[in-house]
Amino acid sequence: MLEKQTPSFPLFQILDVEGNCDCLHEFDRGLLLHMYQWMLRSREYDIRLLKMQRQGRIGTYAPFKGQEAAQIGSAFPLEKQDWIFPSYRDIAACMVHGMPLSQVLKFVKGYFEGGKSPDGIPIFPIQIIIAAQTLHAAGCALAAKLKGEKSVSVCYFGDGATSQGDFHEALNFASVYKAPVVFFCQNNQWAISVPLARQMASETIAQKAVAYGIKGVRVDGNDVLAVYQVMKEAVESARRGEGPVLIEAVTCRIGPHTTSDDPAKYRNQKEVEAFAMQKDPLTRMKKLIFKEGLWTEEEEQQFLKQANSEMTAIVAEIEKTNPTSPDETFNHVYASPGALLAEQQQDLKHLLKQKGAFRQ
């Protein structure tokens, strides 16, 4: 009677490590190139931001190198009205969905306006608290359903978030009300310094969908085509009113958890190097793109040069901008601030004036 039940969730893959694909005819050539260009651009941005942090030009940063396929492939199937609920590592997905690089730079520089939702772009503020955005996404999805809208909410989170109560509450709530939400887990194997095997006893994250009576799938997160296909089906399912979907994208975090972390203290560096050599999502996609004659090395170098030039110009512009006054932290707490909040704001203004730090 007491038998361990292990649901089967095989890893879905389309593009192998050598860039071979048996169903290439199902994908538009322009789409392939566009996704690859975004993967290139986002990695260049990530490398530059990491360097800027080391130079003291931005605050703590969470690099996403190695997770480009998961983020780019999952953001491409979304429609303009769909909502994204990101964590601090999901900058690439946000930019594909419309967040300007200038907004990203304001966020990593600690400017208060960097944490606001971009005007006219359905992206919630980047969430720092682990798994909190899962509840926000479930609530937004239910609201859209009640209002008769056709938008889908997409929540991005890491494997560590599945150890939080918020994750389970969100899945349960969304499943009961059949909310149109896709829970997209980037399983990069590590929750800071804790390996996946020490976080959970279940063999996969995807199988947690069974407990909540929803659809679940496990996909190769380093295969941008597989991620795109799985996400496309998940979004369409949620939009049809079939309830939430849980996606586990198995990938790797090549760099540190954040720039405050030293992964060499807890992770075998040789395993990371082996991943970078054998499973790097950009290398895999590049082999396909070049094999199909869609791109040349000359075009790639020119593209990277242009992407870096654009970033340099935007960085220069942002660095000319003064940080927001601490007084302005009060402006977006409530639509109409109460008396107590207004009193606290006045007290802060008075204190900052005394210290000569307040700007009119």
Is residue 205 domain-shared with residue 351, that is, in the same domain? no
Is residue 212 domain-shared with residue 334, that is, in the same domain? no
In a domain, 308, yes or no: yes
Tell me the C-alpha distance between 327 and 347, whole Å. 10
Q: What is the pLDDT of residue 326?
A: 80
Is residue 219 domain-shared with residue 343, that is, in the same domain? no
Domain that holds residue 267: 11-323
Residue 62 sits in a domain whose CATH number is 3.40.50.970
Q: Within 10 Å of residue 352's Cβ, how many Cβ atoms?
A: 15
Is residue 106 domain-shared with residue 159, that is, in the same domain? yes
Return phi, psi of residue 85, to 5°: -120, 95
Low pLDDT (below 50) residues in the chain:
358-360
Is residue 354 domain-shared with residue 297, that is, in the same domain? no
DSSP string of 286-339, one letter each residue: HHHHHHTTS--HHHHHHHHHHHHHHHHHHHHHHHTSPPPPGGGGGTTS-SS--H
In a domain, 5, yes or no: no
Q: What is the pLDDT of residue 357?
A: 53
In a domain, 3, yes or no: no
β-pair partners for 153: 83, 181
Reading phi first (left if > 0) and then psi (alpha if -120 to 50, else beta), residue 178 is in: left
Counting the structural domains of the chain, the total is 2
What single letter denotes the amino acid at residue 128? I
Q: What is the pLDDT of residue 174?
A: 98
Q: Are the CB atoms for 68 and 42 separated by under 8 Å? A: yes
Q: What is the pLDDT of residue 116?
A: 83
The token duo for 198 is: 């020490």
Q: Are the CB atoms for 186 and 67 separated by under 8 Å? A: yes
Is residue 288 domain-shared with residue 347, that is, in the same domain? no
Is residue 87 domain-shared with residue 210, that is, in the same domain? yes
Active-site amino acid positions = 253, 257, 266
In a domain, 346, yes or no: yes
**Per-residue DSSP letter, 127:** B
In a domain, 192, yes or no: yes
In a domain, 124, yes or no: yes
Is residue 360 domain-shared with residue 265, that is, in the same domain? no
Tell me the C-alpha distance between 163 and 167, whole Å. 7
pTM for the whole structure = 0.93
Q: What is the CA radius of gyration of the chain?
A: 21
Return phi, psi of residue 265, to 5°: -75, -20
N residues, the chain: 360
- Output helix, strand, coil percentages for the chain, rounded to the nearest 5: 50, 10, 40
Is residue 319 domain-shared with residue 343, that is, in the same domain? no
Q: What is the pLDDT of residue 360?
A: 45
**Where does 177-276 show beta strands of DSSP type E?**
181-187, 190-191, 194-195, 215-220, 245-250
In a domain, 1, yes or no: no
Is residue 315 domain-shared with residue 342, that is, in the same domain? no
In a domain, 173, yes or no: yes
pLDDT tens column, 291-324: 999 999 999 999 999 999 999 999 999 999 887 7
Is residue 352 domain-shared with residue 211, that is, in the same domain? no
Is residue 281 domain-shared with residue 346, that is, in the same domain? no
Q: CB within 8 A of 303, min separation 6: which ones?
A: 37, 40, 41
